[in-house]
Structure 1
Amino acid sequence: MGRKLRFATTAMLVVAAGIYINNTNLLAPHRDGKPVLLAHRGMAQRFDERDLKNDTCTAARMLPPSHDYLENTLRSMRASFEAGADVVEFDVHPTTDGEFAVFHDWTLDCRTDGQGVTREQSMAKLKMLDIGYGYTADGGKTFPFRGKGIGMMPTLSEVFTAFPDKKLLINVKSRDAGEAEKLASVLNALAADRRRTIMVYGGDEPIEVIRRLTPEVRTISRAAIRSCLIRYIGYGWTGLVPAACRNAMVLVPINVAPWLWGWPDRFLNRMNGADSAVFVLGPYSGGEFSTGIDTPEFFARLPQGYSGGIWTNEIETIATISGKSKD
């Protein structure tokens, strides 16, 4: 009995040592360099994030502005790249005249002087709207951007033309597979090398279509990221990368990251080997995915010398802290 116990103990120690060696960050090659910064919505006005719901008009909860950039505009995107962003995120909606409008909200009523569902409009009509109309930081007493956003809602093709060699992340706002087919047609009209610089995320149904029709494009959906992280936590110690983590944009809440086998360098190397890009978010608190790495306190929670991706709503702040600022 003693011999069997010793054998079992030795076997367990060997297995534990193997798992440790296969996953310890101490033995993983470290990728030098500065982190990859993703500017969510470009340079944008911040708002009070407390008690947000799906129908909350965030433009009416704007914080006192520190700049005059409006999200999802060419001017905002350009400023983000100039500030140090490597990737800019923006939102799209199909229009009735065959374009894709770059605009965040499902409806026009909050931010603009228009009304109705965004995707039920023509691009010609959307171009006439004032996208700065609804912003207020004092409960409607003043509207600092009213009249300054007329004609500033861009099309997807205008974004591609303005930034022909920049990395972009497209957010599909619907769960419409038909919209994804239209977007895939637009993406497939680009050169294959260009498609590799574009990522797409959104609902499960459209992302499944994009993943199938445009294989060069990295994708992620809410279900896919949960599957990726949960499965990796479950068996990533083996070195195997789950299918949901392959050719993907892997979003990692900063409070989940320490649970990932080999975090950070071995995990980053495994994802890179699976042709995936990793971006760290702010803490996940249940229900909805988290905010970005937007404060010095959140940035300080990243590993020393971290060179993976960072998702941020405060590109100027994080670019400065990370040493990516071009000023």
Structure 2
Amino acid sequence: MRFLKWLGFMLAATFLVLTFVNASWMADAPKGRAGLIAWGGGVHQEFTAQHTGSDSCAPAEIAPPVHRYIADTLPSIRMARQLGAAMIAVDVQPTSDGQIVAFPDTMLDCRTDGSGKVRDHTLAELQQLDHGYRLTADKGKSFPLRGKQAEPIPSLAQVIAAAKPKPLLFVFRSSDPRDAEALAAALKALGRDPVAEGDAFYAEKESGPVARIRELYPQSWAFSAQGGAACASAYKTLGWFGATPSVCTDRTLIMPLSGQWAYAGWPNKLLARMKAAGSHVVIGTTDHGFGGLDLPEQLGSIPRDFNGYIRVDDIWTVAPALFPDTDPRSNAEREQADKALARKRASQ
């Protein structure tokens, strides 16, 4: 009995010490503010089912459109910039003639009036396509965005010009490390230094393009969903003992939108530890893989002092909640967006 009392006392004392040592208020509030990453090629349509851009796909089923913007197009990138995105994520792929284009799928069949793999076509061929041709909101009865895009599938140079002065997050659509080499060559040809410009690179896995980018640009920010989850998992345990896991050094921690209380020192002390380790912190949803915010009220789950990045999958509705005074949308667009949000909330 005496041993159990002693053990209970020691456990309680240890808990109190660890809680005190890892208290967020023990660290200074971080400087700066959170930055929104407009994921998915800027402003884009919302898909009603999981759309992966795989090597075989049917016409892309979207929710009833509330705006005219299509992912990875110049108008969508410009609008994401105007909405207040700190960084714009674009999907990049090589063409058969050595160029780089922004396009969400590895295949053309899902969205365009073309067919086959993106990488098997030249830039000129790709820019003849209608990239809203197969987007449908009623299972193929109608195609509301067909013929509505005046600007073609953009080249890397066009993407950079449209996003300026915002940095870009280049999202690789394949696991081939040669895609990283092709992108690096294209950036060099355009005279763009991604480190100096604050650009970043992303893929699902640590191997492949992300690993190759780290070799080509050792000082760049390159991360993956796999690596971000590994860092978060390791820190969730070791962080309580004041340790920063090695898998987090010069890497990225993907912080889930929910359950943040389980991470030692959140937010201030955790952010200080990650900064000391040369690492970034990105908040996103993690219920079904790495995702982003798609409702304005989700911003309420993020501490005011957080100064990292927030992945946003619906920049059209989330950004105006954070920057209402600079909302560039028309009154009609706001009304349509509010109706779409009401439908989304009702379906959850």
Q: TM-score, normalised by structure 2?
A: 0.81
Q: Deviations over 1:11-51 (max 9, x none)?
A: 766654543233111322223654211111200011213x6
Query: Offset of 1:108 from its aligned partner?
Result: 0.1
Tell me the amino acid that sits aligned with residue 125 of structure 1: E
Tell me the amino acid that sits aligned with residue 200 of structure 2: M
Tell me the amino acid that sits aligned with residue 19 of structure 2: Y
Could you tell me whether the CA contact under 8 Å between 2:195 and 2:217 is conserved in 1? no
Please name the residue that 1:137 is paired with.
137
Please name the residue that 2:301 is paired with.
301
Once residues 239 and 188 of structure 2 are traced to their aligned partners in structure 1, the CA distance between those partners, rounded to angstroms, is 33
Once residues 173 and 179 of structure 2 are traced to their aligned partners in structure 1, the CA distance between those partners, rounded to angstroms, is 10
For 1:251, what is the secondary structure of its paired residue?
strand
Provide the identity percentage.
32
Once residues 259 and 54 of structure 1 are traced to their aligned partners in structure 2, the CA distance between those partners, rounded to angstroms, is 34
Please name the residue that 1:245 is paired with.
248
Once residues 325 and 188 of structure 2 are traced to their aligned partners in structure 1, the CA distance between those partners, rounded to angstroms, is 33
Once residues 291 and 192 of structure 2 are traced to their aligned partners in structure 1, the CA distance between those partners, rounded to angstroms, is 33
Match of 1:264 among 241, 264, 267: 267
Relative to structure 2, which stretch is displaced further, 169-178 or 139-148?
A: 139-148
For 2:105, what is the secondary structure of its paired residue?
coil
Query: Offset of 1:123 from its aligned partner?
Result: 1.1
Query: Structure 1: which 5+ runs fail to align?
Result: none
Q: Tell whether 2:232 aligns with 1:229.
A: yes
Residues 193 and 46 from structure 1, CA distance in 2 versus in 1: closer, same or farther, beyond 3 angstroms?
Answer: closer
Q: Deviations over 1:105-163 (max 9, x none)?
A: 01000110000011111111111111111112122222222122365211122222333
For 1:112, what is the secondary structure of its paired residue?
coil
Once residues 219 and 192 of structure 1 are traced to their aligned partners in structure 2, the CA distance between those partners, rounded to angstroms, is 14
Residues 106 and 262 from structure 1, CA distance in 2 versus in 1: closer, same or farther, beyond 3 angstroms?
Answer: same
Q: Deviations over 1:213-263 (max 9, x none)?
A: 111221112331222112212212343333433333432221353322211
Residues 161 and 54 from structure 1, CA distance in 2 versus in 1: closer, same or farther, beyond 3 angstroms?
Answer: closer
Once residues 142 and 30 of structure 1 are traced to their aligned partners in structure 2, the CA distance between those partners, rounded to angstroms, is 52
RMSD, matched Cα: 2.9
Q: Tell whether 2:83 aligns with 1:80.
A: no
Moved beyond 4 Å, runs of 4+: 8-18, 51-59, 187-196
Residues 326 and 150 from structure 1, CA distance in 2 versus in 1: closer, same or farther, beyond 3 angstroms?
Answer: closer
Q: Deviations over 1:267-288 (max 9, x none)?
A: 1222233333322112x23xx4
Relative to structure 2, which stretch is displaced further, 117-126 or 254-263?
A: 254-263
Once residues 63 and 325 of structure 2 are traced to their aligned partners in structure 1, the CA distance between those partners, rounded to angstroms, is 24
Query: Offset of 1:207 from its aligned partner?
Result: 0.7
Please name the residue that 2:175 is paired with.
175
Could you tell me whether the CA contact under 8 Å between 2:194 and 2:200 is conserved in 1? no
Please name the residue that 1:201 is paired with.
202
Please name the residue that 1:156 is paired with.
156
For 1:219, what is the secondary structure of its paired residue?
strand
